[in-house]
Amino acid sequence: MNAQSKAVANAASQEPVEFGASLLAVISKAASDPAVDIDKMERLIAMQERIQARQAEVEFSQAMNAAQSEMRPIAANASNPQTRSRYATFDKLDRVLRPIYTAHGFSLSFDEGESPKPEHVRVLCYVSHVAGHTRTYHRDMPADGKGAKGGDVMTKTHAAGAAGSYGARYLLKGIWNVAVGDEDDDGNGNRGRKGKEPDLVSDADAVLIGQYCQALGGGKLSALLKAYNVEAIPDLTARQAATALNRLKDQIAEKAKAETNAKATTND
């Protein structure tokens, strides 16, 4: 057995981190030898990379455990009339969880991918740790623009946006395994609650709201949903929808009047 092989054998009997450091020393020494076997060198480098990847995964899991140990149930701050439930919005989840997971070296980034399910959006979340390991989570969300009664209530663009918002919220909650107060079986467990639930927006009104917001542009839909603390048009109650439609009609009329005046000024 040559000196290089003995060094590798001795390093293998040590702890993973120490073995990795010893192996790196062997690689560095071998790289300075003009007679080194390139094939062996490549195998040594591949072994070192596997050790580093394994160590990064171990540190990822340890940090995940530490972060989750500091997380507590989060109080719901919004209502979903369709499922008659309470839930925590993405903003609320992010505000509570981000300081904890970033303190433990994690960062999150969201993206979208191809879903094998028709008319679905695959929402991706990459959870990265400072040690170098990244784990990918995903959730397939329906993006057909249909309302609770099966009618079209959103354009495909709005439906895709809503699917992305829902998916990000579900992923954020699921990745950290955090419980949300007042939530039961995905929001269908409050059947014994007293009082009549408010009627939801009709499919026809939902379509009108989507069309008016699109005509006004400038992030009008996002602003409207934020104002009513809902994630999508079908979550609006009938009363909220009626108020929103009146305001949108007024804004459409003002916009048309402004455009007419602008044209008149140009012609003059």
141-179 tens-digit pLDDT:
888 766 555 555 566 777 788 888 889 999 999 999 999
Q: Which amino acid is at 227?
A: A
Report the 3 state secondary structure along the chain. Answer: CCHHHHHHHHHHCCCHHHHHHHHHHHHHHHHCCCCCCHHHHHHHHHHHHHHHHHHHHHHHHHHHHHHHHCCCCECCCEEECCCCEEECCHHHHHHHHHHHHHHCCEEEEEEEECCCCCCEEEEEEEEEECCCCEEEEEEEEECCCECCCCCECCCHHHHHHHHHHHHHHHHHHHHCCCCECCCCCCCCCCCCCCCCCCCECCHHHHHHHHHHHHHHCCCHHHHHHHHCCCCCHHHCEHHHHHHHHHHHHHHHHHHHHHHHHHHHHHHC
Nearest C-alpha neighbor of 128 from the set 54, 63, 46, 51: 63
Task: Say which residue the tokens 């919004």 belong to.
Answer: 78
Report how far residue 223's alpha carbon sits from residue 226's, in angstroms, rounded to the nearest whole number: 5
* Residue position matching structure tokens 């609006």: 236
In 3D space, the residue among 244, 221, 217, 243 whose CA is nearest the CA of residue 232 turns out to be 221
pLDDT tens digits along 175-211: 999 998 754 333 333 434 444 556 777 877 888 888 8
Residues 110 and 125 sit within 8 Å (Cβ to Cβ): yes
The residues near 97 (Cβ < 8 Å, ≥ 6 apart) are 71, 74, 172, 176, 178
pTM: 0.58
| Spatial CB neighbours of 255, under 8 Å, sequence gap ≥ 6 | 215, 216
Tokens 């079908």, residue located: 234
- Give me the residue spans of the domains in the chain: 3-69, 198-268
- Per-residue tokens: 256: 């048309």
Q: Mind listing the pLDDT tens digit of every residue in the chain (268 residues)?
A: 444 444 434 443 344 555 555 656 665 666 666 666 777 767 777 877 888 899 999 999 999 999 999 999 998 888 776 667 788 889 999 999 999 999 999 999 999 999 999 889 999 999 999 999 999 999 998 887 665 555 555 667 777 888 888 899 999 999 999 998 754 333 333 434 444 556 777 877 888 888 888 888 878 888 888 888 887 888 888 888 889 898 888 888 888 888 888 777 776 6
Q: CA-to-CA distance for 179 and 188, rounded, in angstroms?
A: 16
Torsion of CA 53, 59, 64, 65, to 10 degrees: 130
Angle between helices 220-227 and 203-216 (to 10 degrees): 130
